[in-house]
Amino acid sequence: MANAREIQSRMNSIKSTMKITNAMYTISSSKLKRARKALTDTEPYFYALQRTIARIIRHTPEIDDPYLDTRPHIKKEDRKIGYIVVTADKGLAGSYNHNIFKLAQEQIDKGGNPMLFVVGDLGQQYFTKKGIPVEQDFRYTVQKPNMSRARIIEEKIVDYFLTGKLDEVYMIYTRMVNAMKMEAEIEQLLPIPKHRLSQGVPINVHLEEITMKPSPQAVIDAIVPNYIAGFIYGGLVESYSSEQNSRMMAMQAATKSAQEMLDELAITYNRVRQAAITQEITEVISGAKAQKKKRKKA
């Protein structure tokens, strides 16, 4: 059994670790609140864009917009598919990164000609190590997601789609279902799925009359890039929030385990200390008895 000094040293080490895990929990909690507030503040604008696009499509079903072109003439095995994969820059976030890697790998294994646009350092490292081609000019951090970064990503993705370098674009990210549950999800960005645009549309909306100037095509071409950028921004914030929440849960679990270890070591320390004190008392008593015997003989 270790002596009291060794046990005390281990206890001090665990206490230092607990300070770190508690600090990381607090930091992640603060980041999570800021990110969720930013998303809540901007959501109404992008939902309005979504409804506007849906209205245009409903009133002009004959519109031939490139953002809606499914390119049915291209065979499945020949389709060039782009995946925006949102990972973390660092670990210590439970199964957060593992779940994203797993979902991305499943999509890649389906075939076609995949092209990865990875956000986050860990994703870059993971797919490079696996020998999976990653767009090298596409290097963005996941820290502090903002609209400026989302627009940069949108511009590159849209350019690839409109020029035929990609036939489909998907976003693989993590959605925060609630405080205890995060799910890795995949959503289609391009071509824009019409069913998503019609979600939440009132039943009698087809009775409305609208005027679009200079033309429906010009209007939709102007707002679709903003809509896509908003969708990307939402995915970035959801992923960032999920990462922080996963890290909070991981740090909470680590702190709990550390406290349990500390409690066990405290019991062991008290036993060792008690045994040492008992030993000292026994030695003192034995010494006193020996001295007493000497005095009697004298």
pLDDT in tens, 37-91: 877 887 787 777 777 777 777 777 667 778 888 888 988 888 999 999 999 988 8
232 contact partners, CB below 8 Å, separation of at least 6: 84, 150, 153, 154, 157, 171, 189
Where b means 16+ CB within 10 Å and e means fewer, 55-92 reads bbbbebeeeebebbeeeeeeeeeeebbbbbbbbbeeee
Q: Is the dihedral of CA 277, 278, 279, 282 positive or negative?
A: positive
Residue 83 bridge partners (DSSP): 116, 170
Domain residue ranges in the chain: 4-8+253-297, 21-247
More confident residue, 256 or 137: 256
Which residue matches tokens 């007493």? 292
pLDDT in tens, 155-182: 999 999 999 999 999 999 998 888 788 8
- Residue 60 tokens read as 């002009």
Q: Is the pLDDT of residue 201 over 60?
A: no
pLDDT at 261: 92
- Residue 124 tokens read as 């870059």
* Reported pTM: 0.80
Treating both helix axes as pointing N-terminal to C-terminal, what angle do 216-297 and 4-59 enclose, rounded to 10 degrees? 170
Contact by Cβ (8 Å): 231, 46: yes
Q: 21-247 has which CATH code?
A: 3.40.1380.10
pLDDT at 198: 61
